[in-house]
Amino acid sequence: MASIGAVRYRYRTVGSTNDIASGLAARGAPEGTLVVAAEQTGGRGRFARPWVSPPGGLWFSVVLRPDVPPARLPELAFVGAVGAARGIRAYPGVEAGVKWPNDLVYNGRKLGGILVEAGGPPQARSVVMGVGLNVNVAPGDLPPVATSLREILGRQVVLERVLEAVTGELETAYRGWLERGFAPILAGWRELCTCLGLPVTVRTANGVWHGVAVDVDAGGALLLAVGDRTQRILAGEVLFGE
């Protein structure tokens, strides 16, 4: 694959970098194409929830073209989470962690997230990985459950340096996934995870579960201890505490 960012597009304001990247992918943009915006007016997270993306944050998307079966594409959410967390941790004092499946957190507060979307016909399938990070966003512009690098470090940081650190680790994680499979990514994810072994509430499309987050299985599903049984959860939102 080409290096992430070898081809890049920069915008002041867009609706969604994922939408821009998806359009570029449909027109044949090469793998590694990077779309960066200073602000998103229509940013979204999982389940199409609005994602607040004001100036000062790092909002970008990458076009990927992995030659893997479609069933493996959900693994990329973990690839993105591991790469982004490692990139952020390059800043001393920022012990960023991950929360199942693809949130980036610091001391229980959300620092960023990953959104992976696939599209295109099978013969030209592409994947867009969107990354949103609260970098220089002022605390007053964030919801109470979120934080930013600016708040953690007590100073602003250079966005371009954060971008290069994160995309560099993303590329390393992605190449490793292509070459060695999902197991090493899952091992790295477990090391970064902040919710394993803790009581959590998990909201799913089929209801709400309360239990202890025990582990993730080989496919990335969350294993939740509920009473004397284990519940396997494929998709949902983890909240700390029962």
* Residues 82, 43 share a domain: yes
In this prediction, residue 56 carries a pLDDT of 87
Query: Across the chain, what does the average pLDDT equal?
Result: 88
Its pTM stands at 0.90
| Structural domain boundaries enclosing 217 | 199-240
Q: Which helix (H) or strand (E) holds 112?
A: strand 109-119
Residue 35 lies in a domain: yes
Query: Does a structural domain hold residue 2?
Result: no
- Omega of the bond prior to 143 within 30 degrees of 0, cis? no
* Residues 123, 90 within the same domain: yes
Which residue numbers in the chain have pLDDT < 70? 2, 42-53, 120-124, 240-242
**Contact status, residue 83 vs residue 169, Cβ threshold 8 Å:** yes
Both structure tokens of 120: 């295109």
Q: Based on the structure, what is the number of domains in the chain?
A: 2
**Same domain membership, residue 117 and residue 40:** yes
CATH of the domain at 116: 3.30.930.10
